[in-house]
Structure 1
């Protein structure tokens, strides 16, 4: 006689319990702690100075802090610019590498190198390159006879120029990852589709537009979502390269929260900015999730 199989309704939950504990310990706990501190005024030195002030920090942030709105605008510009450049560049390089070029595998690995380097190191390198007195860029422009472009040399000293330079750095850093994701999807496309299109007289451009791009829709949504989240919480590049300057022109929410939380020792106010950043990131992520159809069941 075969004994009955004994089942326990909570069995599946036991397997995910360790993951949930780690998730709660390293994400939920700091998140709730940050929200709790956002309701206080504290210098971060002694709990004797901790004072509950309710939503006063939020009121001050939304109505009395013009730099917050500037930082938010910069965040959105940064997200839009970095995501577009990163995705387009990643897709273009992926399509190029799929043309069976000589040393294609070598270049595929080379393009991934920036993504493996610390953002602090990347920031320091670009800051050195763009330095108006010691930087390599001005020297190269001078050596090839483009002296008139050197002197614009305060590359990071002009507001409109600085933010786009930071966007370029972020896109340069992340496009290798985007390229790798696109390449993996391109290899999964049935070659017979291209062969049938060739027989029908389709040009290479028509193959890309009518076959490749539509079949990359789902993976493009993934790339856009991840690139958006990375760009939304950007901190290292603006902080290392420009310190949020000139005159807050490259200030983003993360650097503004850091400045208040650690530099000015306004822990409560810095936590308030961090909470707002998290909420905005969640809203944008949720909208992208719905707009791209990633939340729908696969049919």
Structure 2
């Protein structure tokens, strides 16, 4: 329609905005991004797939194949036994002990280690004198190599020359040989596990706490909320993704525990501190039962895959 100046207004339905032909419009943003990333994919993806296949897929397939043979590792596997290695494994008392110990480590990690890490994180995340120094002290055990930690605690637990022996001598009581008692050795290992890894989870929780908006706590203070109410109604809900991630790391790490057990107890006494990985090393590598050890590896792999994917699908699907 014409306005007062005699010009056609832009709102007139009779006037259409000219459109460029489709061949002149150019590419969309998605197509432009794909055009930029395609050379990168062609350059870096094939080597990554090749390395993953060589060092992950092929060893997994070979372990599954070797588990069907009674093989010592020398020559070619020829003595085919089918699922006999798995039958022997499931009937082995030491393997059941290893499974139980792994479950116990997971339980202690979730029930004791993570709450301890969360409690310390809430303390040292505040601006208190010496907070940075305390963070460093609590995180130092995790920085220490697992083998070194096992050797240190083996000396501490030593009933003749270690710290436990010195304390028992000062108190004038009988010296306990902790690592030589099959009934309490696993609890000594659990204490070392908590000491070694709680600092890692504490740092995760500190990172999660620092991402929480401080204005929420100020609003809770204005409403007269107690510290416990602020923790349960503000901190825990907003820290839930970090807690779920920490539990995931604790479970998977507990299943793979090996480096610290071997120098500390070697799986003894009487297989009382075996985990699935130390059991695999003891019976599959040192005794040259590669077929039997491959069966252990297959079972451990299946347990890890089921727990990892099941946990992520159930508890971390929205993270």
Structure 2 length-normalised TM: 0.83
- Residue by residue, what CA displacement relative to the aligned partner does 1:219-275 show, whole Å, maximum 9, x if unpaired? 100010011101111112222211111211111111111112222111000110111
CA contact (8 A) 2:68 2:81 kept: yes
Find 1:27's aligned residue among 56, 64, 71. Answer: 56
Q: Secondary structure at the match of 1:236?
A: coil
2:150 maps to 1:128: no
2:253 maps to 1:242: no
Name the Cα RMSD after superposition: 2.3
Find 1:60's aligned residue among 84, 88, 92. Answer: 88
CA contact (8 A) 1:82 1:168 kept: no
2:136 maps to 1:114: no
1:1-299 superposed matches below 5 A: 13-14=41-42, 15-44=44-73, 46-48=74-76, 50-62=78-90, 64-143=91-170, 146-148=171-173, 150-151=174-175, 153-292=176-315, 294-296=316-318
How far does residue 277 in structure 1 lie from its aligned partner after superposition? 0.8
CA contact (8 A) 2:181 2:269 kept: yes
CA contact (8 A) 1:181 1:223 kept: yes
**Whole-Å separation in 1 of the counterparts to 2:186 and 2:293:** 23
CA contact (8 A) 1:74 1:252 kept: yes
Structure 1 length-normalised TM: 0.89
**Whole-Å separation in 2 of the counterparts to 1:215 and 1:147:** 50
How far does residue 47 in structure 1 lie from its aligned partner after superposition? 1.0
How far does residue 18 in structure 1 lie from its aligned partner after superposition? 3.2
CA contact (8 A) 2:66 2:77 kept: no
How far does residue 157 in structure 1 lie from its aligned partner after superposition? 2.2
**Whole-Å separation in 2 of the counterparts to 1:252 and 1:233:** 8
Q: Any stretches of 5+ residues in structure 1 without a counterpart?
A: none
Q: Any stretches of 5+ residues in structure 2 without a counterpart?
A: 1-22
Q: Secondary structure at the match of 1:70?
A: helix
